[in-house]
Structure 1
Amino acid sequence: MKELFRKIQPYSGKIFAVFLILFFSYLAYNLYNAPVDGFEEKFVYLLKKHGYIILFAWGMLEGEAGLIMAGLLSHTGDMNLYIAIFVAGLGGFMGDQVYFYIGRFNKSYVHKKFKGQRRKFAFAHLLLQKYGWPIIFIQRYMYGMRTIIPISIGLTRYSAKMFALINLISAWCWAALTIVPVWYFGDEILKVLEWAKDHWYLAVPIALIFGGSIIYYFNKATKKVDKKGRKNED
């Protein structure tokens, strides 16, 4: 079993890509054939029927939107809160493990594919050297570095077992910190969503302004990260 695992590790990135293509193709097929009318009804039906599967895949991509969905479905009773946290965390864990092994066994591919991200990789290495394992724990909250850090750690000689352990605990904490508040404030969030649905002409510009502000903030934060990486590299 270990020998088989070692053989497939160098192809983890390709296996990950194939899995995502097949998964989303499966979801698209089921969405089209859902036995209800209207896109919104079809989407809700799909979430209720395949919620945990969708949540696992969404967790692999580390999308907070999937966790918010899980929190709302847990609030309405269509999901179990504890299972949702477990599944979302497991998905997040698997996603970062894939990135880690892409760095560990595909170094030439990483150097070629991420040529324009060299400064971020250098900064990620410096963070690991300076702070050690806590950087693995908090990397999910570092916009622009979520993919870079697991791959960059894979490029080093850092223990794969230690990375997996910290990554697993971190993933479950990340899932709980997002899902639980949404579950707890579910009624208020559902009221806001209902208001947005009825007043979309007001909700759309508000969402654009709010979303644009977040993108601007994180882009600014990412530039600061690049500047720090450049200074440390120089």
Structure 2
Amino acid sequence: MQQTIQSFQDSYQTWGYLLLFVYCMGSGYVGIVVAGILSSLGSMDIGISIIVAFLGNTFGSSILAFLGRYQKNEILKYFAKHRRKVALVHIWMKKYGVWLILFNKYIYGIKTIVPIAIGVSKYKMGQFLILNAIACLIWAFLIGMVSFFASEFVKKIFSYIADKPYLMPIIFLILLGIVWILLKKISKRGFN
């Protein structure tokens, strides 16, 4: 059993970085968050994880921009259902410019459309690649470090709770109550 666990950890350390690179090509948060958590557990290295996530995200966004630039007709057919989002991104590019490129990594639903819209537009590709690399570095560092230190905090909380088993049902009930209240407010807002 111990050999199986050690084999899994060794293979994850080998293949985990490749999986992280591929997942971050699609601008996914989960990959870098999981890498940060595994780094806090000692299964991965946070520095290497941040570099791999940065490279994957930069590569993925750059490919999307180049596809938008050089395969415009084919890529727009693929995004036919998202024409409103592409138009909205064009409006945001005129309004916010550089700030949109730097902060698009954090806006769910358009983070993959921004590079395509920039590729389709007449925006300078060199300027986009530089700003995109800066945005990807900030994204990987910020999300990686937050997940690394947040998992350390959660581990401390669980080690404290493990000594006091009566706290777990109380915390569960409090969280359940919070979720119930939020769902109730959301459902009321949705029907009004």
TM-score bin (small chain): 0.7 to 0.9
- Secondary structure in 2 aligned to 1:173? helix
1:66 and 2:24 correspond? no
How does 1:67-216 map onto structure 2 within 5 Å?
Answer: 67-190=32-155
Q: Relative to structure 1, is the Cα distance of residues 134 and 48 closer, same or farther in structure 2, using a 3 angstrom cutoff?
A: same
Worse-matched range after superposition: 42-51 or 179-188: 42-51
The whole-number CA distance in structure 1 between the counterparts of 2:131 and 2:143 is 18
**Structure 1 residues 38-49: aligned runs within 5 Å:** 46-49=11-14
Per-residue CA deviations over 1:116-173 (Å, capped at 9, x if unaligned) read 2111111111111111111111111111111111101000111111111111111111
**Could you say which structure has the greater relative contact order, defined with CA pairs below 8 angstroms and 6 or more residues apart?**
2
Q: Which consecutive residues of structure 1, in runs of 5 or more, have no partner in the other structure?
A: 1-34, 221-234
In 2, the alpha carbon distance for the partners of 1:111 and 1:49 equals: 37
**Cα distance per residue 1:71-127 (max 9 Å; x no partner):** 122213332222211111111111101111111011111222211211111111111
- Summarize the Cα distance change of 1:42–1:113 in structure 2 as closer, same or farther, 3 Å threshold: farther
Which secondary structure state, in structure 2, belongs to the residue aligned with residue 185 of structure 1?
A: helix
- Matched with 1:36 is 4
Alignment partner of 1:77: what SS?
coil
- TM-score, scaled to structure 2: 0.75
Shift in Å, 1:61: 1.7
State whether residues 182 and 189 of structure 1, in contact with CA within 8 Å, keep that contact through their aligned partners in structure 2.
no
SS of the residue corresponding to residue 4 of structure 2 reads: coil
How much is the aligned-residue C-alpha RMSD, in angstroms? 3.1
Aligned length, in residue pairs: 169
Quote the Cα distance in structure 2 between the aligned partners of 1:174 and 1:83. Answer: 15
Gaps of 5+ in 2: 162-167
- Measure, in 2, the Cα distance between the counterparts of 1:106 and 1:191: 51
Instruction: Mark the structure with the bigger radius of gyration.
Output: 2
Select between 103-112 and 166-175 the one with higher mean Cα deviation: 103-112
CA contact (8 A) 2:27 2:112 kept: no
Q: 1:184 to 1:99 in 2, by over 3 A?
A: same
TM-score calculated relative to the size of structure 1: 0.62
Q: Does the 8 A contact of 2:26 with 2:112 survive in 1? A: no
Q: Give the letter aligned to residue 127 of structure 2.
A: M
